[in-house]
Each structure stands twice: as structure tokens, then as C-alpha cells.
Structure 1
Amino acid sequence: MLRESSCRVKHRPPHLPKELNKPTARERSDSWSLERLLRRLRAMEANQDDKLARVLRALGEFGAFQRRLVVLILIPNILLAFLTFADFFVFTAQRPYCNTSWILAVGPNLTEAEQMNLTLPRGPDGSFQTCLMYLPVAWDLDSIIRFGLNYTKSCQDGWIYPDTKKRSLINEFDLVCGKEQNSESVQTILTAGLLIGSLLFGLISDKLGRCPTLLVSLLGLMVFGFGTAFVNTFNQYLFFRFGVSQALVGYTISSVSLATEWLLTEHRAHAVILEHCFFSVGVLLLTGLAYSLPHWRLLFLLGGAPAFPLISYIWALPESPRWLLMKGRLEDAKRALCHAADVNKTTLPLSLLDKLQLPRKKKAKASILDFCGNRHLRKVTLVMGCVWFAVGYSYFTVCLKLKDFGMNVHLRYVIPGIVEVPARLCCVFLLEHVGRKWSLLATLFQGSLMCLLALTLPSELKSIMVLVIALGEFSLAASASVFFIYTAELLPTVLRATGLGLVSLAWAAGAVLSLMIINQTPTVLPTLVCCVSAVLALFLCSLLPETEEEPLPDMLEHYPLQTSFFRNMTEKLVTEEAAFKDGTDDVVKNTILNSMTLNLDSDTSLQDGAEDTRDG
């Protein structure tokens, strides 16, 4: 058993939640709508039933421990940005010319310009042709200069790149003249890694824990990210990029799950938003380094090197107490909470720790098959999958549209990096005033509308098109941040990471589809997919419940019981709504408490009866 000396605790009677001790601006409002009353009741019911949330609130909602946790989670996101978008900067456009050094055997003093002039054919415009050369002849230099060469063929001894100032993948592995590869094809490999990593690391995170998965992901970033700088062939490069993409999605899923389960209410949302802001800052740093570095290998060396000190997280990252409780590790969960209290220099009431209990084994068990068998999980997964597909497709579409304007690759990624930081910060305002559901609906609608405009506006309106694309990236970046927060709060702890991985598959599918059809000949298909996915996602998203101030679900049985409770409460509140509108603050609080006291007892007996029925 956990010894009292291992954690500073004190005996004190249970107290009312902080939300009731200190009136908020919402409680002081003169107009009390039924929706707001229900939201307050949900928060109160969370305080009564979610014992772990009460412990987290007692040790300090955002103390030194939570701040340290958020900082540890934020830092690697800069590295994620480096390794996610590096492909776009290592495929610098090249003009390849055949290597004709054979002529140096008869003219060793020839300059490069003279060598090319004698051995390379010219096109109708007078420029040297790429991928073609004159056949070597056994003549002396004077004969070659006098008579010239006439017969051409494809390059035999490799290529040279006289106009290139930087070393890129193209001139490193000679990806020219029938061997062309571009960033879009490599992005397909990267996306394939995301597809596999989403499912694999989601299962690992729910099975082994958040911290082990984070450490494995950081190890993968170190091996595959830093190791990319030492590849010898292009196939090796693809293999390392495939590996790093799995580590990227593994870290994202596990870090969001860990932050969701350690933090409360608005702090949870702020942590995820800051995490995404750091990712956008990483894109800006990557763009600056890619512009200044002369060799593509240096980009991966500098981008992957920070992964080495991040392995020290093995001693710093705390495991999620919610996950520990769901796995039956009650003492480990208490030790983690006591450690957090010591860091925050707070005292945990022993009565709260003693109330932490393990769930029933059969209720805590869950598998990926529950996403098909459980109605609520199936609904959340399908809806969020449609939303994420729409976001993935629209985001890649607007990004690829910037190529049509002939923008420099560095400028194409400076714009999203600058736009996305304020976009994500605006989510704080939206989440606090309209909640998760309407924030996602608003940002997704605006992003899809901008994507549709970008596909339908004439290309001659370049300035308007760039503005539309920037607004689209602004909205879709905000949608991505709200999406992660909303989805993590909808999913139960036992399958939270697996669910995030499954919906991430839809994002990867949207990205792949965008890469496949956006470069085709002019067609209505891109516009049609944009419209259908956006309308479907918006409609389905409207069917989901709001999660603001709701307790985090831990088990699969959470949802039907909670629905039964609030159905009873709603019926009572409908008859008492008029009394709330004219009541003072104290009257409102007392009425809510009285309603809860009368209904919680009856609801508890109903829940016990339901559980006994299921047990039988």
C-alpha cells in the first residue's frame, strides 16, 4: 500500500468543487439558458463521479508540474516539423547535362563551357539540350573543333549540373532523365508510413502506456531522422522516410493523449494548441535553414541532432494516471499523483486518494473491435474520420495550388508557417466562447469554402488566389487543433490513442487522394471531392455532443449511463427554467445542488441496477 510518508497528505472533509466556491462570470449572468444550466450540471456531476479529476484539481490545475509537462511535450514538435516537411526542400529543380568528360582526354585544358559547346547538342532556342550528348569519336581535338560532332544519344557516363549552387537529392542520386522523383511521390511514401504508424502506435500507446510510446517515437526520430543524412541510395532514403513518418504520428498521438489525461478543462486545450504552434514555428525554422544550408545532408544532421538529448525524457516524463488506473495499477497512479503534488508543493487530501478505485476488469477491457461493436465509438470514429479526411484533402489541395503561381519553395512554406501560428491562437478564443463542437464546425466550414474558391477561381487572379489560399490554410490549421482536442475528449481512456490513430488514417487518405488528383488535367473531380467531403463532414459533426466541461470518459460503459442521468435532469430542468431566469446567484447554486442531490441518489440506484444486470 502507498505510505503516507511518500506524499504530503492531510485529512479534511470533502469540499465543494472550486466552480461552486467561486462564482464565475457565467454564473453571474442574468440570463440562464437551459443549455448553460445543463453544462454546469455536467461539470458538477464530473466533480462528483470523476474522482481522479478531483485529485488533479486538488494538486493544482496548472502548477509547476503541469507547466513542466507541457514544456517537455512542446519541444519535440519543432523536430517533428523539420522531419515532416524536409522533403520539399531537398528536391531543388535542376538542369542536368550529360557528363562528356571523355573529350578531356584529347583536350585537357578545355574549360567547362568549351567542353559543353563541343559535346552537347543545342535546342531550337540555342540552349543546350538536357539528357542528350554527342557520341564520342576517336578524333583529335582539332578535328572535333573543325568538323563538329553529329550523332547523339542519351547520357552514358552520368550527368553534370553546372547551374546548381546547392547539393540536393536530385544531383546526389541523379534523379533525372527518366529517373525523376519529386516531393509529391516521396510524400506518398511518407503518408503510407503515417497510415501504418497511426494504427500501430495507437495500439502500442493503449497497450504499453503513453510514456513508453513517446520514448519509442523519439528513438525512431533519432534513428530514422538523423540517419537519413547518411543514406547512400535513394531507396535507402525512402526507407528512412517511411520509418520516420511512423515515429512522427506515434509521438503526436501519444503526446495529445498524455496532455489530455493530465490536464483539466481549458489547460488541456491550451497545451494542444501550443503544441501545434511550436510545430508551425518549426516549419519557419526549417525554411530558414533550408534556404541557407548548401547541402541537403546538413539539413537532416541539424534537424535530427536534437533527438539525442530528448531521449533523456525517460527520466522526466510522467505516465498518465488515468491510463494506470485503467490497467489496474492503482499504487503506480497514486505515486504519480503524489510526485506531481510534491513538484507543485501542494498537499493532497488523503480522503481523495483513498477514493481512487480500480475499474471492474470486464469494464476496463477494450480492443480495436469495440470500434465496430460499440455504437458511440463507431459514431465518433466515422464522424471524426470524415472530418479529418476533409481537412487532410483540403489542406494538401491549397498547399499544392501555391505551386501553380511559380512561387519559390521557401516562400510557399513561409506563408503557412506565419499564418498558422495566429490561426491556432485564435482557437483559444473560439473554444472558450463557443465550445469544441461549434469551433470545429466554424473552422471546417471556412476552410472548405476557401478550398472550393481556390479550385474554382480563375488562375489569372493571382493576388486574390494567394489571399484565398492563405485564409484556407488559416482555417484548416485551426480545424486541426480543435480536432485533436475534441476527438481526444470524446474517446475513452482505454482506447483514446487507438481512436486517434484510426481517425488519422482518414487524414492520410485525404492527403493521398489530393496528391493523386490535383496534378491531373483540368477536371471537376478535385472540386467535387472538396464539396462532398466538406458537406458530409459538417453534417455528421453536427450530430456529436459538446465536450466542454464534460468529464473525460474512461470506459466504454460511460456513455449510456451519462445519457440516462442527463435525460432525467433535463426533464426536471424544463419545468424549472423560469425560476432560474429570475433567481439570484445563491438561488441558482442552491437549486442546482438540490436538483443534483435528489436525482443523483435515484440515478445511482439505476446505474447499480444496470451494472448488476450486465454482470448477470
Structure 2
Amino acid sequence: MSSWTRELDEAAVLATSRGWWHELLFYLLCGLAAIPTSFLVFSTVFINATPEHWCALHPRIEKLGIEDQLIRNLTVPGHHGVFESCRAHNIDPDDFFAIYNQTFGGIGDSEMNEGTTDLLIRVINSSKSKEPSECKHGWKFSTDLYKNTLVTEYSLVCNKDWLPRTANTLFWVGSIVGNPFFGWVSDRYGRRPTILLMIFLLVPITIATSFPGNYLTYIVLRIIGGLFFPAMYQLPLILALELMPPAKRTNAGIVIGMLFGSGMCILSLIAYLLREWFYLSLATTLPFILTYSYFWLIPESPRWLVGRGRIADAEKVLRNIARRNGITLPCGFLLDLHKRIKEEEEIEIFSNGQLKSFTRSYDLEVDANKDFNKDVFLENDILKDDKTGEEKEVVIDETENISICNEVKRTSIELESHEMETPNMVQTDPFLKVQINSLRRKSKQFVNKIFSNEDDDDDLDENKVMYEQHSENDCEASPLDLFRYRNIRKKFLILTFNWVSVGIAYNGLSYNTTNLGVNDYLAFFIGGIVELPSYVIAWHCIEKYGRRWVFFGFMIIGGIACLSCGLVPEDLPWVTLTLAMLGRLSAAASFAVFYVQVGELLPTVLRAQAMGAASFISGVGLLACPYIVSLGVIRKWVPLIIIGTLSVAAGFASLFLPETLNHPLPQTLGDGENFGRNFKILSCVERDKKY
């Protein structure tokens, strides 16, 4: 078929029918997407943690070594064991030491014992102010959970408590900018160079956050680090999806999710053992210098190469994977697959009594009331020989070499010109068009040459001309195509809303662990642990019941669990924790299902850009996460009510998306527009559909 979807699926099956290399490559990509990103996003839960704190005494009084608990009980206002953090009764040091010297006389500080405690209480009560006031001498921080954090080091409490929240918010601002950019770079220059570029830049930036000097520098470094998330999560996932055969695509989202949850458990254990922000920061960044080795490990996506018309290069990637698996694939096997599949579909067409060529019979309806202009299909391409400077006219045969991608692009231009009634919309100078395309191709070749580590294959070079005759002629798509086609637009908007909702649910529940009334390390570890069974459950469910109904079920269960927290009294924290963890389990499973679903609904030529655009909008929603969590100071269940409401809404919205199980990945814009046009909301998965 002209979009090469079936050919690539069958080629992937042939290249991975046995051996271990593709399995190793799969887990390397999943690990790259999960472990570094889990540390990048959630290490701030501990690095920016705010321990219990209260107003400190004057330094002269602090030198006496009076017990913290005694000072808090006598100077800090509180009710039922809960003390204020930003106000205390001030103790004047001159008055204190005047009364102290009169009371204790010649007793030295080293001679003070429990018998003197009553006298010390009398001294403090006699010298403290009648009304509490703001802290004048800084704060004392509890060391029960944390030896130090950035909050304790820079005293980011009370009138500065907004700075840690702002740092977290600005991290997501970075992701809003970076994700669409890297999505565009990935679709234009390839998956491999984009992933390598992110690795080479991200590792030194994250290491630098361990040496900020001041908190403003730390915020700037976190913003720069945010540029690479969630692109660093999505692009290895996309590459894994596009490399693996159809039967293993489901595994990508699930395995990445399980590794992400494992990364969170590892993070909580490291934080518990170290308890100092500096060593924790180094421990969660330095090991990823090893990811530089990916330069020699990961290949380019064959689907991306075919989408760019580089079919010979796509075959080279598949043959290399097969060779490392101990499989020998003949040179030209991909073209042979293409010819065989094309002949089979031509036979099927003629058996139905339709005397049409294969290419013209492929359904690419963009507008049911608009016929394609046949003259466009007979247009000749003007090519210029770089050596002789002579222009050569190559007539493209209609039934053999017409690209579906060109058909879509030319039709969209025709539709725009029809709607706008502007004749200047179509470029009429073919020589100028070739010059522009040549410059663009040279820039892409330069980037690919920098990041290429593959040996030349002379056999493939000899057959490159033959491959190019069957290629898609550099099929490109822009983000505007998301809104040009009605079905693609509908799916994109629903996916974007679901992304916002599941993102707020997952990240909100992750950051909300400090509001659950239990140990921070324990709550975070439990949150990571409950994710692991959620991915196993999701893995089995989506293979049997499909994507949309499983996503619906998990989002509804998680939403109801979070909403139920509003009915639990605050003196029962373990009940709230249990419901919140059920919500966390459901949100994690939903995220795993969602990443599989979004990758399968969007066409290859637009997949990374579309995911980047949806993630951009989702990132705007995630800016509210720190402030939603901060509402827990009002009532601990307020953030959970907001999260539960969004989860239920996203669950019902997912029913308006088509099922993707047992369907091929859409390759072109035409594939994406046609897929799921006429599905029914209450429909279930189609069993073992052949394509």
C-alpha cells in the first residue's frame, strides 16, 4: 500500500522474529524514557521539601542549648500539638540574661540539669513578649526527616514560601516551550538525532543544579531542565513504538510506566538514605553520564525514514537489527514486500469488479464533495543534475510512483485556494520549488551525517534510485494539519483534554504526598509501589478489552476514589491515604494506556509534533498543579476533589475516541483522517483484524 504501513509492520516482524538485540534495544529505550525523567521531575519533592519549622531564638540564647521542644511549648503559639511556623513570642536577650543570672547565680551552663528546668521555664515566661510577632532571628528546622534541603539552606519559608512552588511551576513552563520544539525537530530531522541532542544537553544541566550558588540560579537551571521534559519521555517511546512489530507495541507504554514507577521507588529510597539535598542531587544526575553510550546503540526510526522518502535507509536499519538478531534479510526485501502487497491488493480490487489502479483506489477523502484534480496527478517533476546543470524532465507514472503524501498536500493546497480564492496560494515555478526543497534536504542531510554511526552499504546505494521511485517523496506535515482535517482535529482535541486531566491527576497525586499526614518517604514509596501492579493490570486489560474502555474504567475508578476523600474525617489519615493511593494506581494505569493510545491514533508524519502540541497545552494545565496541592492547607481533601472531578470528565471524553487495538499504525495524513471515522461510541474491540 502506498503509505507503507503494512510493509513496515511485516518487515519489523521479519527483523525481530528471533534473537535478543531488539529486546535489549526496546528496554534501553524504555529505560531512557523512564528512569532519568522520574528523577528529573520528582527529585524536587525531597530537594525542595519544607520540614517542620518554628521561630528561632536570639543567637545568644541559642548558645545555651535549651531543648527545642521546651522552646516551642513556651514561645510558639499552637493548639492540640500543632504549632505556628511564622510567629512566636519574642524573647529580649538583655531581659532574659538579667533574670537568668539572678535565678541561676553561679550555676554554669554545663551544670544545668533536669532540676533546673522549672527555673528555666520561669525565666523564659518572665522575659518573653505578651503578644506573638513575626520571626526576627530566622527559623529552626526539624531534622527528623531531612538533614537539610534547599528550603532550609536558603530559609524559604513564611514570606518566601512561594519560591519553591514557583520553581516547580517554572519547570513546567520550560516543558511547555521545549516539548513542541523537540517534537518539531524530531519530525523534521529524525528521532535519533533529537534524542541524542537532548541527552548531550540535559545531563550536564541536571548535574549543574547540584551547584546553584543561590536559589535564583537553581530556578533558572530547573527551567532549562524543563525544556527536555516530557520530550525526553515521549521521543524514546515513539521510537520504541516505531521500531517494534505490532504485537509488541502495547508493551512500550506499559514497560515505560513500570520503569517510571520503579524509578520513583528508587528515588524515595535514595532520598531516605541520604537525607541531604546536595548528595541526593548528585546521586540522581551523575549516573546518567552513561546515557552518552546511546550514540552507538539506537538507530533511526524506519517509519520516519519511509515518511521522508528514504526507503533504502529504512531497509538498512531493519537489516542491521535483523543482523544483530542473527537473521539475514536480503538486499531489497522491503521493496519486494511492497510489490507483493501491492499485487495482492490489486487482485482484491479487480476481484470486486473495479477496474481501477491500486493508487487511485486508495481512499483519501478529505472532502466528500470535492474531487481530486486529475491534472495534478499528471504533473511532471523538473529535476536538475548537480554535475551538468542540465534540467531533466521525469514523467511520473500514475499507477506506480504517485505519492499519497503529495496527493494530500496538493489537495489541501487546492482546498485552501478554493476557500480563500487566492491564486497565489500555489507555487507555479517548479525550478524555484526544487531549489527550496534542495536547500531543505541539504540541511537534513547535514544533521543526519553528524549523528550517523552506521557503515555504508554499497548494495543499498546501488538500489537507491529504484527505492526512490517507490518513495513518498519527502512527505511532510505541519502542526496546522491537526486542524485542517476534521477527524484528526476531533481526536487531537479530545486527546489534549485527556492529557491535561490525567497529567494533573498523576502529578497532583504525586506531589500531594506531603498532605496525606504520613511520613514523606513512606508515602512516596507507597505511591511508586502501587504503580507497578497498575501497569500489569493495564497491560493485560488493553490486550483483551482495548484502549478506550480500559482508559475509561481506570479514570472513573480513580476519580471516584479521590472524590470519596472529601467524606473521610481528617483524623483518619490512613483511610485518606488508601483512597489517594487507589487514585494514584488508577492515574498511573491511565497514563500507561494513554501513551499507547495517543501513539496509535496519530499518523507517523505528524506523531511527534502532535504529541508535542498536546503536551504543550497539557503543560499549561500542569502549571496549576503546585497551587492545587497548596490548597491542602485549607482542607487536606480539597486537591483530591479537584483531581477527582477532572478524572471523571476525562473518562467519559475517552469514549469519543476510536479503538486502536488490532489496527495498523496510521502512516500518512490520509491514514489518520480515515481512521476511526465511523466508529460507534459503545463499540468494542475488533478481534484479530487483518490488514
Taking structure 2 as the reference length, the TM-score comes to 0.67
Deviation at 1:180, TM superposition (A): 2.0
Deviation at 1:424, TM superposition (A): 0.5
Q: Are residues 1:95 and 2:206 paired?
A: no
What is the alpha-carbon distance in structure 2 between the residues aligned to residue 266 and residue 308 of structure 1? 33
What is the alpha-carbon distance in structure 2 between the residues aligned to residue 288 and residue 245 of structure 1? 24
8 Å contact from structure 1 (residues 283, 417) kept in 2 = yes
Q: 1:381 to 1:563 in 2, by over 3 A?
A: closer
1:59 equivalent in structure 2: 15
What is the alpha-carbon distance in structure 1 between the residues aligned to residue 69 and residue 551 of structure 2? 59
Deviation at 1:153, TM superposition (A): 7.8
1:558 equivalent in structure 2: 671
Query: What are the superposed Cα offsets for residues 13-71 of structure 1, whole Å, 9 maximum, x if unpaired?
Result: xxxxxxxxxxxxxxxxxxxxxxxxxxxxxxxx999962122211222246423112112
What is the alpha-carbon distance in structure 1 between the residues aligned to residue 135 and residue 650 of structure 2? 51
- Aligned partner (choices 249, 255, 264) of residue 268 of structure 1: 249
What is the alpha-carbon distance in structure 2 between the residues aligned to residue 227 and residue 358 of structure 1? 52
Deviation at 1:531, TM superposition (A): 6.6
Deviates more, 1:437-446 or 1:488-497: 437-446
8 Å contact from structure 1 (residues 491, 499) kept in 2 = yes
Classify the secondary structure of the residue corresponding to 1:222.
helix
What is the alpha-carbon distance in structure 2 between the residues aligned to residue 62 and residue 53 of structure 1? 16
8 Å contact from structure 2 (residues 557, 586) kept in 1 = yes
Query: What are the superposed Cα offsets for residues 336-381 of structure 1, whole Å, 9 maximum, x if unpaired?
Result: 1121121111122445322469956635221111111122221121
What is the alpha-carbon distance in structure 1 between the residues aligned to residue 9 and residue 185 of structure 2? 25
What is the alpha-carbon distance in structure 2 between the residues aligned to residue 386 and residue 128 of structure 1? 40
1:413 equivalent in structure 2: 524
Deviates more, 1:87-96 or 1:280-289: 87-96
**Which stretches in structure 1 are left out of the alignment for 5+ residues?**
1-44, 105-109, 568-587, 597-616
Q: 1:256 to 1:160 in 2, by over 3 A?
A: same
Question: Aligned AA for 2:20?
Answer: A
- Within a 5 Å distance, the mapping from 1:278-289 to structure 2 comes to 278-289=259-270
Question: Aligned AA for 1:113?
Answer: I
Deviation at 1:496, TM superposition (A): 0.7
- Within a 5 Å distance, the mapping from 1:135-284 to structure 2 comes to 145-146=101-102, 161=141, 166-181=147-162, 184-284=165-265
Q: 1:403 to 1:523 in 2, by over 3 A?
A: closer
1:575 equivalent in structure 2: none
2:579 equivalent in structure 1: 468
Q: Are residues 1:113 and 2:70 paired?
A: no
What is the alpha-carbon distance in structure 2 between the residues aligned to residue 150 and residue 461 of structure 1? 37
Classify the secondary structure of the residue corresponding to 2:548.
helix
8 Å contact from structure 2 (residues 35, 260) kept in 1 = yes
Deviation at 1:256, TM superposition (A): 1.2
1:32 equivalent in structure 2: none
1:508 equivalent in structure 2: 619
8 Å contact from structure 1 (residues 494, 554) kept in 2 = yes
Deviation at 1:179, TM superposition (A): 1.8
Q: 1:153 to 1:465 in 2, by over 3 A?
A: closer
Query: What are the superposed Cα offsets for residues 109-154 of structure 1, whole Å, 9 maximum, x if unpaired?
Result: x543399999x983467999966655676x9976874498678986
Question: Aligned AA for 2:609?
Answer: T
What is the alpha-carbon distance in structure 2 between the residues aligned to residue 114 and residue 523 of structure 1? 31
8 Å contact from structure 1 (residues 220, 244) kept in 2 = no
1:30 equivalent in structure 2: none
8 Å contact from structure 1 (residues 100, 116) kept in 2 = no
8 Å contact from structure 2 (residues 302, 314) kept in 1 = yes
What is the alpha-carbon distance in structure 2 between the residues aligned to residue 156 and residue 166 of structure 1? 23
- Aligned partner (choices 284, 294, 297) of residue 303 of structure 1: 284
What is the alpha-carbon distance in structure 1 between the residues aligned to residue 599 and residue 141 of structure 2? 50
What is the alpha-carbon distance in structure 1 between the residues aligned to residue 560 and residue 70 of structure 2? 53
Query: What are the superposed Cα offsets for residues 64-92 of structure 1, whole Å, 9 maximum, x if unpaired?
Result: 23112112113332222222111111214
**Which stretches in structure 2 are left out of the alignment for 5+ residues?**
104-122, 339-400, 409-474, 680-686
Q: Are residues 1:72 and 2:25 paired?
A: no
8 Å contact from structure 1 (residues 88, 183) kept in 2 = no
Question: Aligned AA for 2:593?
Answer: V
- Aligned partner (choices 306, 317, 337) of residue 318 of structure 2: 337
Q: 1:78 to 1:47 in 2, by over 3 A?
A: same
What is the alpha-carbon distance in structure 1 between the residues aligned to residue 549 and residue 85 of structure 2? 57
Q: 1:451 to 1:159 in 2, by over 3 A?
A: closer
Deviates more, 1:341-350 or 1:280-289: 341-350
Question: Aligned AA for 2:51?
Answer: A
Deviates more, 1:230-239 or 1:152-161: 152-161
8 Å contact from structure 1 (residues 197, 246) kept in 2 = yes
RMSD of the alignment, in Å?
3.9
1:493 equivalent in structure 2: 604
8 Å contact from structure 1 (residues 81, 283) kept in 2 = yes
Deviates more, 1:485-494 or 1:60-69: 60-69
Classify the secondary structure of the residue corresponding to 1:410.
helix
What is the alpha-carbon distance in structure 2 between the residues aligned to residue 160 and residue 452 of structure 1? 37
1:582 equivalent in structure 2: none
- Within a 5 Å distance, the mapping from 1:500-539 to structure 2 comes to 500-517=611-628, 519-520=630-631, 521=634, 533-534=646-647, 536-539=649-652
2:481 equivalent in structure 1: 370
Deviation at 1:182, TM superposition (A): 7.0
8 Å contact from structure 1 (residues 46, 550) kept in 2 = no
Deviation at 1:230, TM superposition (A): 0.6
User: Percent identity among equivalent residues?
Assistant: 27
Classify the secondary structure of the residue corresponding to 2:262.
helix
Deviates more, 1:249-258 or 1:139-148: 139-148
8 Å contact from structure 2 (residues 45, 511) kept in 1 = no
2:377 equivalent in structure 1: none
Taking structure 1 as the reference length, the TM-score comes to 0.74
Deviation at 1:196, TM superposition (A): 2.1
Q: Are residues 1:444 and 2:584 paired?
A: no
